[in-house]
Structure 1
Amino acid sequence: MKKPKILAYYLPQFHEIQENNEWWGEGFTEWTALNSAKSYFKSQNIRKPISPYYQYELPSKDVMEWQAKIARDHHIDGFFVWDYWFGNGKRLLSKPKEYVRDHGIDFPYALIWANHSWYNKGKNILLMEQQYLGKKDYYTYAMDCLSHFVTDNYIKINNAPVFGIFMPSAVPDLQLFIETFEFVAINNGFSGIYWVAENSSNEDVFANSFNAVISSSKYFSVRKWKHPLFFIREQLIKRFNWNFMGPICYDYRKLVSSKDSFESSESPAIFSGWDTTPRHGNRGTYLENFNNETFSSHLDNVFQHAIIYQVDFLAIKSWNEWAEGNVLEPDSEFGYSLLSVIKNKIKSSFDVGGEI
């Protein structure tokens, strides 16, 4: 089988913005949380970046082209960059994508709309509200995205720019949003949009409007019965702020690496570890027993499903979510070994053609 298009979720947060400085303190970036992180369990090692670009700052031609090269060298097609459009022209963390667009650097990417409000969860404070303002606003957003679609770096499938939505079910007029983007794409020479739905199921009423349906959170849904007591503790923390009961430790082998029952046409996510304690402290969750062997087993399940159901798109969660321990980028715990595992699994599972 021909290799599916494989993109890794990419966090563009690694630079200061005025809003984060106001909300979290001067100089705040993703590295702030990582540098103050501590281990809560004997099995837990905080994964940190290694040379040549330790705690890099975005945007950077050298860093981003290095990221693109090591991704390409391991048969990963590019990056699924989180895009923060809150409505009425309000954007956050847009400098990296605009830098790629304006400077034409070698960084293959597509955008996924991170359509969720921002909160200070510890204090339950709304920081930035996600708004859905209708056709005019969607058209403005579509035109902003079009300036990326038309570049050579932007990833397309069958002349359709790839575009994702984090939570399609949250968009009250989803069909209008889709129609607006389709109109802009088709009227600018594309065959349409290659739509990717995250946090979704093939049973959702909107699923037929999407080319790929992903549910990267489904791995955590099984914790209810595989770790019932820990799940109850997690809910007490979230609902009643009983932070003294956390953080919660689950088992990657049981939640992710074990054989899972994917829906037939689902595009299963590739899950590169999990540890949110750097970001959330006692309110965080951590998956132990993540290593080369359990990651390899997980890839076997994902790729077997992709082959059986001829899946043409896969997403890796994630490339560089450092404060969530959700990383494929070379790190202090695994070096380049996770990349080597995924490269070898891709080569043994798919026809990679003329790829490196």
Structure 2
Amino acid sequence: METNFKKVRVFAFYLPQFHPIVENDFWWGKGFTEWTNVSKAKPLFPTHYQPRIPGDLGFYDLRLQEVQEQQAIMAGEYGIDGFIYWHYWLGEGKQMMQMPIEQMFENKNITLPFALCWANHSWYAKNWNSKGVKGKDKLLLRQTYPGIGDYKNHFRKVLKFFLDDRYIRINNKPIFGLYEPYSLPDVNIFIDVWNQLAKENGLDGIHFIAFNSQHKNANKPFEYKYDSSIVEYVGSSKNINNNFFKYFYLGVLKRIFKWPHIISYKKYLKHVLEETNKNTNVFPCIVPNYDHSPRSHRAATILHNSTPTLWGKLLDGVLKQLKDREGEQFLFIKAWNEWAEGNYLEPDLKFGKKYLEVLRNKIDENE
């Protein structure tokens, strides 16, 4: 899909995890999915919104093709221009959670555009107990970079997606994200190899996008051969409590009393709008909500008191900033369905479709 856009396009990250896999069965017990953590979550303080229970789509299983069809239809109706699927390639041909992506690719009833972002990180069992005390993490799967031969094999595996008419492109270049853009020991060689292979297969190259959790790294990708940069502001928002005494107080609560790291959504909103990078090759990535406690308990980071109204204020500000830019105007949302991070646009029982309705309204208002 060619994307020389004149208006802001909105893409949501998509987690292809919600189905049993052999590895999770072995590590965590038969039938484990992210829903296991989601359903067991408990509030850590009186106003803490947990557990978060899915609404319209329920506790779905991605082995059912109807689920992905319903998700794509819903996303399109409320202004999402495409899904960015997390893609797991651990080196030497080892892939994880590929079934939903393959199933979507084969299902031509799904017309929503898509792209891939390589979740190139090792898998660990995070050792947090119920009180938030952290021990030594256990390595489950190691991300490896065996070299040029593996880069070529990786490209061959994803080429069919790049050639699909639904795949999101910029100037005939499929976009491809890297979650840990600086972990590759030879990132420029990787980029050169893939660009050459893309040209040999009728494309003009690959548009490489580096994912950054801290806004201070927004321009770092351009020290390498990346074409653009995504900045997600949750990582840097941990430092927004700039009042020394409050920062010290919260640090004491976290370290001594095992209190989660709580940031008000209002402060997160203000932080994003103040720190948004104006570089035309840097795309913002915003979250409607964030709460890692289903996975990490009291060691969690929590954006507290997110509401559809505040989400609308954030969208309005970011969309207005993007409209003033030259070039591609992309807004990334993390995420469509990362439920165990309390980070989703899908309907839940408390708010229903309100976050989606606000998204649709703000997109319409800013066209």
TM-score by length of 1: 0.90
The answer for the alignment partner of 2:264 in structure 1 is: 251
The one-character-per-residue Cα deviations of 1:76-97 (angstroms, maximum 9, x if unpaired) are 1111100111100111111111
8 A contact 2:7–2:323 mirrored in 1: no
- Distance across 2 between alignment mates of 1:82 and 1:247: 27
The one-character-per-residue Cα deviations of 1:111-152 (angstroms, maximum 9, x if unpaired) are 000011111111510111111111110111111110211122
Call closer, same or farther: CA 1:32–1:218 in 2, change over 3 Å.
Answer: closer
Return 5+ residue gaps in structure 1 as ranges. 237-241, 351-356
Match of 1:101, SS state, is helix
More divergent stretch after superposition (339-348 vs 304-313): 304-313
The answer for the alignment partner of 1:283 in structure 2 is: 299
Match of 1:104, SS state, is coil
After superposition, residues 179-194 of structure 1 pair within 5 angstroms as: 179-194=192-207
8 A contact 1:267–1:314 mirrored in 2: yes
The answer for the alignment partner of 1:232 in structure 2 is: 251
Return 5+ residue gaps in structure 2 as ranges. 128-135
8 A contact 1:4–1:313 mirrored in 2: yes
The one-character-per-residue Cα deviations of 1:251-294 (angstroms, maximum 9, x if unpaired) are 11112345322222121112110111111112212111200111
The answer for the alignment partner of 2:330 in structure 1 is: 313
- Runs of at least 4 residues of structure 1 off by over 4 A? none
2:151 pairs with 1:138: yes
Q: Residue 274 of structure 2: which of 260, 265, 280 is its match?
A: 260
8 A contact 2:221–2:228 mirrored in 1: no
- Distance across 1 between alignment mates of 2:247 and 2:264: 12
How far off is 1:300 after superposition?
2.0
RMSD: 2.1
The one-character-per-residue Cα deviations of 1:153-192 (angstroms, maximum 9, x if unpaired) are 3222332212101111111111111112212222111122
- Distance across 1 between alignment mates of 2:20 and 2:199: 36
The one-character-per-residue Cα deviations of 1:179-228 (angstroms, maximum 9, x if unpaired) are 12212222111122122210173431545633331121454243352662
Amino acid at match of 1:263: N
- Distance across 2 between alignment mates of 1:84 and 1:142: 13
- Distance across 1 between alignment mates of 2:179 and 2:308: 28
Call closer, same or farther: CA 1:230–1:3 in 2, change over 3 Å.
Answer: farther
The answer for the alignment partner of 1:209 in structure 2 is: 225
Q: Residue 272 of structure 1: which of 288, 295, 318 is its match?
A: 288
- Give the percent of matched residue pairs that are identical in Structure 1 and Structure 2: 37
More divergent stretch after superposition (219-228 vs 248-257): 219-228
Amino acid at match of 2:307: N
The answer for the alignment partner of 2:133 in structure 1 is: none
- Distance across 1 between alignment mates of 2:249 and 2:142: 31
The answer for the alignment partner of 2:73 in structure 1 is: 69
Match of 1:268, SS state, is strand
Call closer, same or farther: CA 1:84–1:230 in 2, change over 3 Å.
Answer: farther
The one-character-per-residue Cα deviations of 1:57-116 (angstroms, maximum 9, x if unpaired) are 113321111111111112211111001111001111111111122333414311000011
Q: Residue 115 of structure 2: which of 110, 117, 136 is its match?
A: 110
The one-character-per-residue Cα deviations of 1:296-352 (angstroms, maximum 9, x if unpaired) are 1111221122122335222101100001100111112211111111111111112xx
How far off is 1:247 after superposition?
2.4
The answer for the alignment partner of 1:333 in structure 2 is: 350
The answer for the alignment partner of 1:239 in structure 2 is: none
Match of 2:290, SS state, is coil
How far off is 1:249 after superposition?
1.9
Total equivalences in the alignment: 343
How far off is 1:17 after superposition?
0.8
8 A contact 1:257–1:294 mirrored in 2: no
How far off is 1:234 after superposition?
8.1
The answer for the alignment partner of 1:34 in structure 2 is: 38
- Distance across 2 between alignment mates of 1:39 and 1:18: 31
Match of 2:189, SS state, is helix
- Distance across 1 between alignment mates of 2:75 and 2:239: 30
